[in-house]
Structure 1
Amino acid sequence: MLTINQLNKQIGQQTILEDITFEQTPGEIIGLVGRNGAGKSTLLKCIASHYLLDDGQILINGESIETNLALKTQIFYLDEDHLFFKNLSLNQIGQFYEAAYPQFDMSQMMALLAEYYLMDNQQYQQLSKGMRGLFNIILAISSHAPYLLLDEPFDGLDVVVCKNVIRLLLDQVSENQRSLLITSHNLVMLEPLIDRTLILKERHIIQDYRLETVRQNARKLQIVLKTNQVPSLFKADGRILNISGRVMVVYFADYTDELAGKIAALDPVLCESLPITLADIFEANLTNEQDYQVFV
């Protein structure tokens, strides 16, 4: 069990993360989503001990990684912004991680490099952005660390490679009960992969839920009214996702029989449910009035 307990982080004079608390069980895949600059990468760096905490604890099975330093090898995170080995070959990088992670499997790394036509004597800096991302995943898998922190792992990957990466990750989760904490702006790729979603906004985790649970309580409705006027009900109890003339798509986080009755009382020409996606939840929780203007 990985436990993040009341984590706080300040950089300079700015508070980036405040009172971040959650748990992750073995074999669980969590998606960490938020707007640009919300602090997602900072949170991963804090968990991986790349940043010192201002307050809070990182625990594995109830034991602090600050008091038992060996526990840090249970967590894998590669910070591409501060790589010191860009001039090294893939083989040399693997040797470095083999020394750092007791369970690192060099033979597995070499087999995966060959499978994806990566040459072990090639320098990291010579790889394309997508191939660097693929190599980072191969490193993570080969580390055999129980907790993998993946920051935008699908960025730069083409569709075929991306699907293969997802297959590799899911195989690791199912076979070895490894846990993934993933940040990504590619919500389409992320949605079918994750068990839970954490939404990070204004320094805090504002939502922690499973998508299927959300779908039990929420509704995304396409509603056609007889006029172009937007009912105050939609603004008060929902989030308007889209408007095109008299056609409105509205997300209601808490859809009750009472609310359904109020919508019916508007006498809409059409009212039908649409599938709720992770992108809908992202937009409903993280967009502001200034992000878009609705013309009616």
Structure 2
Amino acid sequence: MIYINDLVFNYDKQKSLFNNLSLELESGQIVGLFGKNGSGKSTFLKLISGLINPRSGVVKLNGDNPFKRLPSLMEDVYLVSEDLYIPDISIKKYIDAYAFFYKKFDLEKMHKIMKDFALQETDYLHKISYGQKKKFLIAFALSTNCQFLLLDEPTNGIDITSKSIFRKVLINSITDHQMVIISTHQVRDIETIIDRVLVLDDGNNVFNYHVNDISEHLKFERLADISNKKNIVFYEKELGAYKVISPVDNSEETDIDLELLFNAIISKAQIKL
């Protein structure tokens, strides 16, 4: 479980990124973390992983402060940062050097995911592309079997086919005791795999709901005309039609349009769940 209470953080001589941010997240779900540029998504993941310390407030993972870097907690936390740092060694040597720190590391799983991503142990990390480096770190992260997996822009730099493989691999690799938080601008890359939508804006948690709650209360439609449409929560005009969010009625449940939902949240639309 992740517990955050009254979190305040800012970098030196900069305005606060978080102002008394509070939230709780239970394990056993994939959380989509969204926000505008500069909303602090990457910083949020660094705070959770213990890389930086809040100015004030509480951050706890399973009751422990991650900034204390307790080995018993750190072996259960893995962050794939958008800013990659990988040593100039082969994949095999990386695994030999770093898997040791994660007691639940599964080498067989690692080899299977590497095969899915067309990676080989003999590949040298400094010679492969950015996208291949990203896929390698995702494979390593999933193979640690950590309870807390934090992925910052995991689909940046990888091709369309690899994005599809990423979704399949992620779903097939995690268990009910794990929590995955995915921070991304590429909303459509993960909209079919997340369980919860978390949006940060203006230094706070402005939306934090399970996708089941969203589907039960909101309907997402594409309509040619909205002049007679009642109770519209939010809409966007596109070529020849409107994308609309409205309260659920007696009609069939619709797929969630995450991009439209995010725009509605940031626009301060009156969303009631």
Fold shared per TM-score above 0.5: yes
CA-to-partner distance for each residue in 1:202-228, whole Å, 9 max, x for gaps? 11110111233223333446363679x
Alignment of 1:25-40 (within 5 A): 25-40=26-41
Given the superposition, is the C-alpha separation of residues 100 and 112 from structure 1 closer, same or farther in structure 2, using an over 3 Å criterion?
same
Amino acid at match of 1:64: N
Given the superposition, is the C-alpha separation of residues 11 and 226 from structure 1 closer, same or farther in structure 2, using an over 3 Å criterion?
closer
Is contact 2:150–2:180 with CA below 8 Å preserved after alignment?
yes
Residue matched to 2:237: 242
TM-fit CA distance, 1:94: 1.9
Q: Work out the CA distance in 1 between the residues paired with 2:138 and 2:84.
A: 17
TM-fit CA distance, 1:68: 6.8
Alignment of 1:1-296 (within 5 A): 1-12=1-12, 13-66=14-67, 69-70=70-71, 71-81=73-83, 83=85, 85-174=86-175, 177-220=177-220, 222=223, 224=225, 238-242=233-237, 248-252=242-246, 255=247, 276-287=256-267
Given the superposition, is the C-alpha separation of residues 193 and 121 from structure 1 closer, same or farther in structure 2, using an over 3 Å criterion?
same
What's the TM-score once normalised by structure 1's chain length? 0.76
Amino acid at match of 2:180: L
Q: Work out the CA distance in 2 between the residues paired with 1:45 and 1:95.
A: 25
Equivalent pairs, count:
262
Q: Which moved more, 1:14-23 or 1:136-145?
A: 14-23
Q: Work out the CA distance in 1 between the residues paired with 2:114 and 2:254.
A: 42
Given the superposition, is the C-alpha separation of residues 251 and 65 from structure 1 closer, same or farther in structure 2, using an over 3 Å criterion?
same
TM-fit CA distance, 1:285: 1.5
Given the superposition, is the C-alpha separation of residues 81 and 226 from structure 1 closer, same or farther in structure 2, using an over 3 Å criterion?
closer
CA-to-partner distance for each residue in 1:71-127, whole Å, 9 max, x for gaps? 1221100334262x3422222322332233233334543443345332323222322
Q: Work out the CA distance in 2 between the residues paired with 1:256 and 1:163.
A: 30
TM-fit CA distance, 1:182: 0.5
Q: Work out the CA distance in 2 between the residues paired with 1:124 and 1:106.
A: 18
Structure 1, unpaired ranges of 5+: 258-272, 289-296
Q: Percent identity?
A: 25
Amino acid at match of 1:42: T
Q: Work out the CA distance in 1 between the residues paired with 2:20 and 2:124.
A: 40
Which of 1 and 2 has greater Rg? 1
SS in 2 for 1:124: coil
Q: Work out the CA distance in 2 between the residues paired with 1:111 and 1:170.
A: 14
SS in 2 for 1:109: helix
SS in 2 for 1:126: coil
Given the superposition, is the C-alpha separation of residues 65 and 111 from structure 1 closer, same or farther in structure 2, using an over 3 Å criterion?
same
CA-to-partner distance for each residue in 1:214-265, whole Å, 9 max, x for gaps? 23333446363679xxx9x98xx743311668x654434xx499xxxxxxxx
Q: Which moved more, 1:161-170 or 1:190-199?
A: 161-170
SS in 2 for 1:62: coil
Given the superposition, is the C-alpha separation of residues 91 and 4 from structure 1 closer, same or farther in structure 2, using an over 3 Å criterion?
farther
Q: Work out the CA distance in 2 between the residues paired with 1:195 and 1:29.
A: 5
More helix by share: 1
Q: Work out the CA distance in 1 between the residues paired with 2:56 and 2:259.
A: 32
What's the TM-score once normalised by structure 2's chain length? 0.82
Q: Work out the CA distance in 1 between the residues paired with 2:226 and 2:113.
A: 56
Given the superposition, is the C-alpha separation of residues 136 and 219 from structure 1 closer, same or farther in structure 2, using an over 3 Å criterion?
same
Is contact 1:240–1:248 with CA below 8 Å preserved after alignment?
yes
